[in-house]
Structure 1
Amino acid sequence: MSYDLAVWEGERPADDKTARQVFSDLYDRYIDGEVEEPPSDRITAYVAALLERWCDLTEDDEDTSPWSAGPLIDCASGPLIYFPMRFSMAEEASAWASAMAEAMGLVCFDVQQDRLRP
């Protein structure tokens, strides 16, 4: 079981309902779409920050990474990253990932709770 977050570039939506629609539109275009797009520079920098805190799943010899997919950068496309984390580490990792997104001027959306974070 995993816990998913979505982080993207752009203006912070006014409310959770609007954020859900923005996420859905971005997901349809960048993750579920037919055209693959390399991650933007800001999303690439965000992934690098996440990997400074916890190693990539592909390099996790000691079972300490919270990520459920690897390489983590493969979860990103264009201005969006939609990434899973292990449920057992989700509370700590999602709080840190959310705070990092805010510090970098990115929007963080909690897919399970259908709400903006933080």
Structure 2
Amino acid sequence: MQPADDGEGGVVYERLYEEYMEGEERAPTASTLAYAEALAERRTFMTEGRSSGGGSLLNDASGPMIYLTMPYGLAGKLSAEAARLADRHGLVCYDSQTEHLRPVHDD
């Protein structure tokens, strides 16, 4: 379910982060696995096979949550694609650094 605004998104993010990233590690959900696979393919394509850091996206996945880190120089392009793919997979993308829901843009 899409949070109503950035504030609600932050509350949901904090709860999920505490439960799934700081708590006991859990196997990623099917939708998280599908999203990570699709994003990994796009990341490799968008970086022309160069390492964009971080290794497997599933290293930072637990239950319904995946915590993405991105290299500074590629963050804009990769985060836009991450938001588009999240939307396609019925997931919500929240940027914890800016404390905003990550909107989907078709640019």
Report if TM-score (shorter chain) is over 0.5. yes
Q: Deviations over 1:48-103 (max 9, x none)?
A: 00111123xxxx9x87233x322211110000001101011001000011011111
Q: Deviations over 1:26-47 (max 9, x none)?
A: 00000011x1100000000000
Q: Which residue of 2 aligns with 1:31?
A: 21
Q: Is 2:3 the counterpart of 1:18?
A: no
Identity of aligned residues (%): 42
Count of residue pairs the alignment pairs up = 101
Q: Which residue of 1 aligns with 2:50?
A: 64
Q: Which residue of 2 aligns with 1:77?
A: 62
Contact 1:20 1:114 in 2 (8 A): yes
Q: What's the C-alpha RMSD, in Å, of the aligned pairs?
A: 1.6
Contact 1:54 1:64 in 2 (8 A): no
Structure 1: gaps of 5 or more residues: 1-10
Higher RCO (Cα < 8 Å, 6 or more apart): 1
Task: Give the Cα separation in 1 of the matches to 2:67 and 2:50.
Answer: 20
Q: TM-score, normalised by structure 2?
A: 0.87
2:75 to 90, 94, 104: 90
Q: TM-score, normalised by structure 1?
A: 0.79
Q: Which residue of 1 aligns with 2:89?
A: 104
Greater share of helix: 2
Q: Which residue of 2 aligns with 1:53?
A: 42
Task: Give the Cα separation in 2 of the matches to 1:14 and 1:80.
Answer: 19
Greater share of strand: 1
